[in-house]
């Protein structure tokens, strides 16, 4: 996806603009913990162009002085984005901080669009001419709070998007590994690739800059391992901030068909693991849970079962994800991973014929009658699969509100009983029949 980044000094209204541009994003379930809070990364759409958008203002960079922070944020924008939106404020006029950021952006030669925010009424438009002095061309007056002027900015941004060269008939399955630092992602990458493309060492943060790597599995299937750039540590201050690595992981997830959520078997499940897994689920990608460092775990006959139970409890929303216990060190069960990825990918692309789907739904309703609310009962007329990756089912009903989360969940489970959807989320969308 083309990427837009928003930069600018504090209080110019970056996050308001970010939310306006990102619009409302529909999440698959309501109960994934802690995913939508303090968003700094989202999807947007304009004139048939999908894009990603980053609010660099949301990435706080430790205790650095103010000026240093916004310079780092500008650098993130340069590293990550195809188009940069520099936000200034028409109320305050040009400030030193605006000039400092403008200078850095100008030198980067990336396309920059200068937005002058808080221009809430037409009379204020005459005050924006001083912003030409920043040397970034025409300033665009906008009002984040009133949603004014954004169309012109996005029209301009779209012009700078790179031409989409993602190969349409690319048959390879894209996957990435995400997880906390030190769970063994780079070691797994090395071991799966079977060659030293990625350097591993005992010192945290030595992964060499990597690019996507393609390889062919045993039965001829091609795989592409997405460079989980969250692992790339180039020694910049911001690379160590959690928000920044989360953003990188989310970008890797976006480009993947299947995401391997890596846990450390020796340490068990941590809070951060849950958040990371939540992102993969929210994005609607296939998920496989990989428990690494299994060689270090003292085992008896119940150890694996117990760990599995714990995973099912802690990651309840990922109940569809298969689990595999591996060791990057001894290579135990690593050969299973490509096959698992391939199966999940097939499941994501399954299509159920409407007649079969409707039989399943009618049987489901017979076992467990539809819910009622204020004397009104949910009526299901018909269901149809409208998309794959993830499999998405529209269920036509009398009233959308009557489809409670728990009932949608029940229908999902019935569909899962009938079909092999292991590893992929399923979406069920109630829609009022016209
Ligand atoms: P990353 O930060 O997730 O990429 O983690 P690394 O791949 O850099 O691994 C962190 C440390 O754990 C390194 O010292 C690895 O040698 C070690 N490690 C990784 N996988 C395994 C494993 O399966 N077993 C054992 N014993 N050590 C491992």
Q: Are the C-beta atoms of residues 288 and 322 closer than 8 Å to each other?
A: yes
In a domain, 131, yes or no: yes
> What residues contact 381, with CB distance under 8 A and at least 6 apart?
396, 397, 398, 433
Judgement on whether residues 150 and 197 belong to the same structural domain of the protein: no
Dihedral of CA 358/362/365/371: which sign?
A: positive
In a domain, 205, yes or no: yes
Structure tokens at 204: 């945290």
Local mean pLDDT, 10-residue blocks, the chain (434 residues):
91 89 55 56 86 86 82 88 95 93 93 95 86 94 91 94 67 90 88 60 39 78 74 58 80 92 95 88 94 95 95 94 97 93 96 95 96 94 95 95 94 93 95 87
Structure tokens at 297: 């775990």
Give CA–CA dist 222/229, Å, rounded: 21
**pTM of the predicted model, to two decimals?**
0.79
Judgement on whether residues 268 and 188 belong to the same structural domain of the protein: yes
For the CA atoms of 124, 127, 128, 134, the dihedral, rounded to the nearest 10 degrees, stands at: -150
Give CA–CA dist 266/337, Å, rounded: 20
The response to whether residue 327 sits with its C-beta less than 6 Å from ligand 1 reads yes
Judgement on whether residues 339 and 236 belong to the same structural domain of the protein: yes
Among 324, 328, 334, say which to mutate for ligand 1: greatest number of ligand atoms within 8 Å of CB.
Answer: 328
Q: How far is the CA of 427 from the centre of ligand 1 (A)?
A: 35
In a domain, 191, yes or no: yes
Q: How far is the CA of 130 from the centre of ligand 1 (A)?
A: 54
The response to whether residue 229 sits with its C-beta less than 6 Å from ligand 1 reads no
Q: How far is the CA of 187 from the centre of ligand 1 (A)?
A: 5
The response to whether residue 347 sits with its C-beta less than 6 Å from ligand 1 reads no
Give CA–CA dist 188/287, Å, rounded: 16
- Atom 25 of ligand 1: nearest residue by CA position: 293
Q: Pairing relation of β-strands 213-216 and 112-117?
A: unpaired
Judgement on whether residues 147 and 23 belong to the same structural domain of the protein: yes
Judgement on whether residues 294 and 150 belong to the same structural domain of the protein: no
Q: How far is the CA of 191 from the centre of ligand 1 (A)?
A: 11
Q: How far is the CA of 299 from the centre of ligand 1 (A)?
A: 19
Judgement on whether residues 328 and 381 belong to the same structural domain of the protein: no
Q: Can you give the CATH number for the domain in which 131 is found? A: 3.40.50.300
Judgement on whether residues 235 and 381 belong to the same structural domain of the protein: no
Judgement on whether residues 33 and 124 belong to the same structural domain of the protein: yes
The response to whether residue 183 sits with its C-beta less than 6 Å from ligand 1 reads yes
Domain final residue, candidates 96, 127, 159:
159
Q: How far is the CA of 228 from the centre of ligand 1 (A)?
A: 16
- pLDDT score at 422: 96
Q: Is 183 annotated as a binding residue?
A: yes
Give CA–CA dist 230/239, Å, rounded: 8
- pLDDT score at 210: 45
Q: Say whether 252 sits in a helix, a strand or coil.
A: helix
In a domain, 164, yes or no: no
Q: Which atom of ligand 1 is nearest to the CA of 183?
A: 3
Closest CA to 192 of 168, 228, 245, 242: 228
Q: How far is the CA of 404 from the centre of ligand 1 (A)?
A: 43
The response to whether residue 200 sits with its C-beta less than 6 Å from ligand 1 reads yes
- pLDDT score at 168: 56
The response to whether residue 295 sits with its C-beta less than 6 Å from ligand 1 reads yes
Residue 395 pairs with which residues in a beta bridge? 383, 430
Q: Can you give the CATH number for the domain in which 369 is found? A: 3.30.300.20
For the CA atoms of 16, 17, 22, 23, the dihedral, rounded to the nearest 10 degrees, stands at: 60
The response to whether residue 231 sits with its C-beta less than 6 Å from ligand 1 reads yes
Domain of 302, in residue numbers: 173-348
Q: Residue written as tokens 């304009």?
A: 46
Q: How far is the CA of 306 from the centre of ligand 1 (A)?
A: 23
Judgement on whether residues 73 and 103 belong to the same structural domain of the protein: yes
* ipTM for the assembly: 0.93
Provide the 10 A C-beta neighbour count for residue 178.
Answer: 28
Judgement on whether residues 337 and 303 belong to the same structural domain of the protein: yes
The response to whether residue 328 sits with its C-beta less than 6 Å from ligand 1 reads yes
Judgement on whether residues 107 and 15 belong to the same structural domain of the protein: yes
In a domain, 185, yes or no: yes
For the CA atoms of 282, 283, 286, 291, the dihedral, rounded to the nearest 10 degrees, stands at: -60
- Atom 2 of ligand 1: nearest residue by CA position: 182
Burial of 79 (0-12, 13-18, 19+ CB in 10 A): middle
Among 182, 248, 333, say which to mutate for ligand 1: greatest number of ligand atoms within 8 Å of CB.
Answer: 182
In a domain, 224, yes or no: yes
Q: Is 423 annotated as a binding residue?
A: no
Domain final residue, candidates 330, 348, 366:
348
In a domain, 165, yes or no: no
Give the total number of structural domains in the chain: 3
Give CA–CA dist 423/402, Å, rounded: 28
Judgement on whether residues 212 and 263 belong to the same structural domain of the protein: yes
In a domain, 183, yes or no: yes
Domain final residue, candidates 95, 128, 159:
159
Specify the DSSP element, H or E, that contains 53.
strand 49-55
The response to whether residue 332 sits with its C-beta less than 6 Å from ligand 1 reads no
What's the first-to-final CA gap in the chain, in angstroms? Answer: 35
Q: Is 14 annotated as a binding residue?
A: yes
The response to whether residue 190 sits with its C-beta less than 6 Å from ligand 1 reads no
């Amino acid at each position: 996806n083309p990427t837009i980044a928003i930069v600018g000094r504090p209080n110019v209204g970056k996050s308001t603009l970010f939310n306006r541009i990102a619009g409302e994003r529909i999440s698959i379930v309501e109960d994934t913990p802690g995913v939508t809070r303090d968003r700094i990364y989202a999807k947007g759409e304009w004139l048939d162009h999908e894009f990603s958008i980053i609010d660099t203002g949301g990435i706080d960079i430790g205790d650095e002085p103010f000026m240093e922070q916004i310079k780092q944020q500008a650098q993130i924008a340069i590293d990550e984005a195809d188009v940069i939106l520099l936000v200034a404020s028409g109320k305050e006029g040009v400030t030193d901080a605006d000039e400092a950021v403008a200078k850095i952006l100008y030198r980067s030669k990336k396309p920059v669009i200068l937005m002058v925010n808080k221009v809430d009424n037409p009379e204020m438009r005459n005050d924006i001419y001083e912003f030409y002095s920043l040397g970034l061309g025409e300033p665009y007056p906008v009002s984040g709070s009133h949603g004014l002027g954004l169309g012109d900015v996005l029209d301009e941004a779209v012009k700078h998007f790179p031409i989409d060269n993602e190969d349409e008939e690319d048959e390879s399955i894209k996957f990435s590994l995400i997880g906390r630092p030190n769970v063994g992602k780079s070691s797994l990458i090395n071991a799966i690739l079977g060659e030293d493309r990625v350097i591993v060492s005992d010192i945290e943060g030595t992964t060499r800059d990597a690019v996507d790597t393609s390889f062919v599995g045993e039965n001829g299937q091609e795989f592409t391992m997405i460079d989980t750039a969250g692992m790339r540590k180039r020694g910049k201050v911001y690379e160590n901030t959690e928000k920044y690595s989360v953003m990188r992981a989310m970008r890797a997830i976006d480009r993947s068909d299947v995401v391997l959520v890596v846990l450390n078997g020796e340490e068990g499940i941590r809070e951060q693991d849950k958040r990371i897994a939540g992102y993969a689920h929210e994005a609607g990608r296939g998920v496989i849970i990989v428990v690494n460092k299994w060689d270090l775990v003292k085992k008896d006959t119940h150890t694996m079962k117990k760990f599995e139970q714990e995973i099912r409890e802690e990651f309840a929303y990922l109940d569809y994800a298969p689990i595999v216990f591996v060791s990057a060190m001894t290579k135990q069960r690593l050969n299973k991973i490509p096959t698992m990825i391939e199966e999940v990918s097939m499941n994501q692309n399954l299509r159920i014929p409407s007649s079969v789907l409707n039989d399943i739904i009618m049987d489901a309703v017979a076992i467990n009658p539809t819910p009622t609310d204020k004397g009104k009962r949910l009526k299901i007329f018909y269901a149809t699969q409208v998309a794959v990756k993830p499999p998405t089912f529209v269920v036509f009903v009398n009233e959308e509100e009557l489809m409670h989360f728990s009932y949608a969940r029940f229908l999902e489970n019935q569909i899962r009983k009938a079909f092999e959807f292991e590893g992929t989320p399923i979406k069920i969308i109630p829609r009022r029949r016209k």
